[in-house]
Structure 1
Amino acid sequence: MPDQTAGEIAEKNAPTAQPDAGENRARVRRGVICVLIGGTFWGLNGTVCSWLMGTYGIDPLWLVCLRELTACWLFLAAAAARPQSRAQLAGVLRDRRGRVEVLAVALGAILFSQVAYLEAVDWTSSATATVMQSLGMALVLVFTCARARRGPRWKEMLGLALALAGTFLLATGGNPGQLNLPFEGLVWGLVCAVSSACLSILPARPMAKWGNFTVNGLAFLVSGCILSVCYQPWNHMPVLDGAAAAALVFSVVVGTYGSYALYLQGVHDAGSMRAALLGTSEPIAATISTVLFLGTTFTPVDLVGFALILAMVYLTA
C-alpha cells in the first residue's frame, strides 16, 4: 500500500517530513522481496496453465477470461477491507483522469500481458515463455533512462547484454541459421516482452495515488469484461474434473491474485527497472516446475540461455 504523503508526515513532525536513507532502503528491500515472490508465483502459474491447456484442451483466452473475472473480486475485496483503500476506490471512480488511467492499465498491461503470456505458453512452454518475457527489461531500460535523462549504468548494460545473448541461444539453439522455436511461439514471446514492459511502467503512477488493490481490481474487472464481450467464453466451455478445478483455483488465487498483487507492489516500492530485472525469478520457478511436473526436457544450449538471462538477478539484487 502507498505510504503517507510528505504533507501528512510534515504536519505530524516537520523535521522528519522526508524519509531517511534507512527508510528508503527498507522500502526497496520490501519491493525486491515482493517482486521475487510474485515472479515465483507467476512462473508456477505458467506451468499449471500449461498443464491445463495441454491436458484439458482449454483455450488460452477462456483461461484469461476466467482468471480476470474471478481474481478481480479478490482485489476489490482487499481494497474494501481497509478504510484508506475504500476511500481510494471511491475516489478513482469519481475521478475522470483516474478512470482513464485504470482503463490504460486494463488494456495496456493486464489484458495485454495475460493474453500474450498464455499464448506463448501454449505455443512453447511456461519456462520458455517466462524467459522471453524477461526481454521487456530492454524497453523498461530505455523508458527509465529517457525519463531520468541519463545513460544506462554498466550493470544495466551488462544485464541487457546477458539477456539478449540468452534469448539468442534460446531462439536459435546457437545456430543463427535456424529457428529453435515455433514461429508463433517466438512472436508471442516477443509480444510477451512488450507486455512485460507495459506491466512494469503503466500501473506505477495510478498505483501511487489509488493503491495496489484498487487499481488491480478495477483493471482486471474492465479487462475481463472487454475480453468476454469479444471472445464469449460461455461458447467455449471445456470439460473439467476435480483436478482441473483445483488447478484453476490455484491459478486464480496464487498465480493471478498473488503474483500481480506482489509484483505490482514491488514495482511501486522498488521501481520499474529493478522490478523488471528481478522479475526474472519467474523463469527459475517455471523451469524447475516444468521439469519436475510436466517432464519437459531442455538442451544444454537452452540451459545456458536461461542462465545468462537469470544472471541479471545477481547484478541488480
Structure 2
Amino acid sequence: MRAMGMVAIFVAAILFGAAGAAAKVLFVGNVSPLDLTAIRSFVACAVLGPIMALIPGRSFHIPPPARPMALAAGIIFVVVNATFYLAIDMMNVAAAITLEYTSPFFVLVLGALFGGKRIRGRDCGIVALSLVGCFLLTGGGGEWVRLSAGLAVGLACGLAFAIFNIIGNACKARGIGATALTFWNFAISSAVWAAALPFLGVHRLEPTAEMIAYIGFIAVVATILPYWLLLFGLRHVDALPATVIGLLDPLAAGLMAYFLLGETLTPANMAGIALVSLSVILVTLSERQKSSAPAKSPRSPAEGAPLLEANNG
C-alpha cells in the first residue's frame, strides 16, 4: 500500500503541474486567478457529486467527530488554490509551483511548534539553502517588487499546502475516506466562492471554446483526479516524502509551459529549482535515517513482557 500511495502521489504531481501550465494560458486570456479558482471548484463539485451519488454505500459520510477536521481541510484547500494561482499569475509557472513545494520546511516548523519536535542545526542549514533557492527562483531586476509579491504568495501557498498535507495524513485515523474528503473539499470551496461571487469577475467573462476546454481540463482531469490521488496517497505515505514526490510538479509545469506558452527558465531559475529540490531531498534523507534507526531493545525481561503480551493479544 505504501508503494501504491507513492505512485498515486507521483501521478498527482504530474497532473498538478499540467494544471499550472494550463492555468497560465487562461491568465494570458484575461481570466483572473481568483475567477479560475472559483470556477474550478464549482465545476469539480458539480461533476464529482453525481458520480459519488451513484457509488453504493455512504460515499459522502464523514464521521461526526471528524467533521471539524474535514471543515478545516476544506478551508485550507481554498487558501492553497487561491495562493497557487495568484503565484502563477505573478511569476513563471515552474517557479511558482516550486515555491509551493517549500511545504516540507513548514512541516518541520509546525512539528517543532505544535508537535514538540526539536529542530537541529542541520535542519536550519537546509532551510537556509531553500531560501537561497527561492531568491534565485524569483530573479531580480526591474520586476523586483512584483516578484517579491509573488515570492510572498508562493511561500504562503507552501505553508497552506503543508497544513493540508498534515491534515490529509491525519484523516485516515479519523475514519475519513479519500473520496469523501475530496468531495467535501470542493463543496466547502464552492460555498466560499459562491459567497464571494459579487466581488469576482466571473459574470463578466465571455467564454470561448478554447476557454471552456481549458477549464474543463483543469477542473476534471487536473483537479478531481490529482486531489483524490494525493489524499489517497497521504493515507499511506507521510506528509514529508509526499511533498518530495510532488517536486515533479515544476518539471511537468515547465515542460507544458514551454510547449503552450513558449516560456523558458533562466540559468538563475534553474539553479533555484536545483537548490530547493536539493534541500527537500536532504530533509527526506534525514527523516529516512531517523525512521530506519533500530529501536532500542528492552533492558530486562520485565520490560519486554508487556510487549510480548500485547503482541499475543
Above 0.5 in TM-score?
yes
Q: For the residues of structure 1 that align with 2:46 and 2:123, how far apart are their CA atoms?
A: 37
Q: Give 5+ residue unaligned stretches, structure 2.
A: 286-313
The question of 1:297 aligning with 2:271 is answered: no
* Alignment match of 1:105 (pick from 63, 73, 86): 73
State the match for 1:259 in structure 2.
226
Cα deviation, residue 99, structure 1:
2.6
**Aligned ranges 1:69-218 → 2 under 5 Å:** 69-77=42-50, 79-83=52-56, 86-87=57-58, 89-92=60-63, 95=64, 97-108=65-76, 110-144=77-111, 150-151=117-118, 160=127, 162-172=129-139, 179=144, 182-208=147-173, 209-218=175-184
Q: For the residues of structure 2 that align with 1:146 and 1:61, how far apart are their CA atoms?
A: 31
State the match for 1:42 in structure 2.
16
Q: For the residues of structure 1 that align with 2:58 and 2:218, how far apart are their CA atoms?
A: 29
Deviations 1:204-244 (A, max 9, x none): 32354120110110121111111221233575331121111
Cα deviation, residue 171, structure 1:
2.9
Q: For the residues of structure 1 that align with 2:261 and 2:91, how far apart are their CA atoms?
A: 13
The question of 1:220 aligning with 2:194 is answered: no
3-state SS of 1:203 partner: helix
Q: For the residues of structure 2 that align with 1:76 and 1:204, how far apart are their CA atoms?
A: 23
Deviations 1:40-80 (A, max 9, x none): 1111101101101112x112121111111221244444544
3-state SS of 1:130 partner: helix
* Alignment match of 2:37 (pick from 47, 64, 78): 64
Contact 1:120 1:188 in 2 (8 A): yes
1:156/1:286 CA distance change after superposition, 3 Å: farther
1:155/1:244 CA distance change after superposition, 3 Å: farther
2:40 alignment partner AA: R
Which structure has the larger Rg over C-alpha atoms?
2
Q: For the residues of structure 1 that align with 2:226 and 2:100, how far apart are their CA atoms?
A: 15
State the match for 1:9 in structure 2.
none
1:246/1:235 CA distance change after superposition, 3 Å: closer
The question of 1:28 aligning with 2:15 is answered: no
Q: For the residues of structure 2 that align with 1:161 and 1:261, how far apart are their CA atoms?
A: 33
State the match for 1:21 in structure 2.
none
Q: For the residues of structure 2 that align with 1:210 and 1:259, how far apart are their CA atoms?
A: 18
Corresponding pairs, count: 282
Q: For the residues of structure 2 that align with 1:206 and 1:314, how far apart are their CA atoms?
A: 25
3-state SS of 1:37 partner: helix
Q: For the residues of structure 2 that align with 1:82 and 1:159, how far apart are their CA atoms?
A: 45
Q: For the residues of structure 2 that align with 1:253 and 1:50, how far apart are their CA atoms?
A: 17
1:269/1:185 CA distance change after superposition, 3 Å: same
Q: For the residues of structure 2 that align with 1:156 and 1:275, how far apart are their CA atoms?
A: 18
Contact 2:62 2:180 in 1 (8 A): no
2:203 alignment partner AA: H
Contact 1:31 1:268 in 2 (8 A): yes
3-state SS of 1:297 partner: coil
Contact 1:171 1:180 in 2 (8 A): no
Cα deviation, residue 261, structure 1:
1.0
State the match for 2:290 in structure 1.
none
Identity of aligned residues (%): 24
Cα deviation, residue 159, structure 1:
6.0
When normalised by structure 1's length, the TM-score is 0.78
1:169 alignment partner AA: L
**Aligned ranges 1:235-314 → 2 under 5 Å:** 236-311=203-278
When normalised by structure 2's length, the TM-score is 0.79
1:230 alignment partner AA: A
Q: For the residues of structure 2 that align with 1:265 and 1:159, how far apart are their CA atoms?
A: 29
Cα deviation, residue 273, structure 1:
1.2
1:124 alignment partner AA: M
Q: For the residues of structure 1 that align with 2:54 and 2:110, how far apart are their CA atoms?
A: 35
